[in-house]
Amino acid sequence: MVTHIEPKRVYLAVFAALMVLTVLTVWVSYFDMGDLSIVVALAIAVTKATLVVLFFMHARHSPRLTKFVIAAGFCWLVILIGLTLSDYFTRTWLPLPQGW
């Protein structure tokens, strides 16, 4: 990749956004939203992680191969967590057969 030098203010803006999102995630945790709480918390965390990957880790200006590898990593993570949970979370859907 050709070295891309980001202006300082971009990093400061990302840092400010990360701080705002941190305050936000603490603030919303004080409200009882039931099952929605975890969705909101994870949405904020994923947003923060995406900002770090794109700007601090320079994924924006990485070669296509590097971008592809990063995307592949998250696909494998989704498979790991998705398949694990699709097993555990569906075990009680059907009653156990007689004799078990």
Partner 1 sequence: MSEHTAVAAVEHPAVLQHQFDDLEQQMDASTLGMWVFLLTEIMFFGGLFAAYTVYRAAYPEGFAAGSLRLDLMLGGLNTVVLIASSLTMALAVRAAQLGKRQDLVAFLSATLGLGLVFLVVKVFEYHHKYVERLIPGPNFFFDGPHAAQAHMMFCFYFAMTGMHALHMVVGVGLLTYFIAKARSGRYTAQYYWPVEVMGLYWHFVDIVWIFLFPLLYLIGHRGVH
* CB of 57 or CB of 96, closer to partner 1: 57
* CB of 27 or CB of 98, closer to partner 1: 27
Is residue 71 part of the contact set for partner 1 (CB under 8 A)? no
Taking the complex as a whole, how short is the minimal distance between the CB of residue 99 and partner 1, in angstroms?
25
User: Binding partner 1 by CB under 8 A: which of 6, 36, 39, 60?
Assistant: 6
Cα-Cα-Cα-Cα dihedral sign, residues 65, 68, 74, 80: negative
- Residue 39 exposed, middle or buried by CB count within 10 Å (0-12, 13-18, 19+): exposed
Size of the site for partner 1 (CB under 8 A): 50
**Alpha carbon distance 15, 17 (integer Å):** 5
Contact indicator for 53, 45 with CB cutoff of 8 Å:
no
Scanning residues 11 to 30, which ones bind partner 1 (CB under 8 A)?
A: 11-12, 14-15, 18-19, 22, 25-26, 29-30
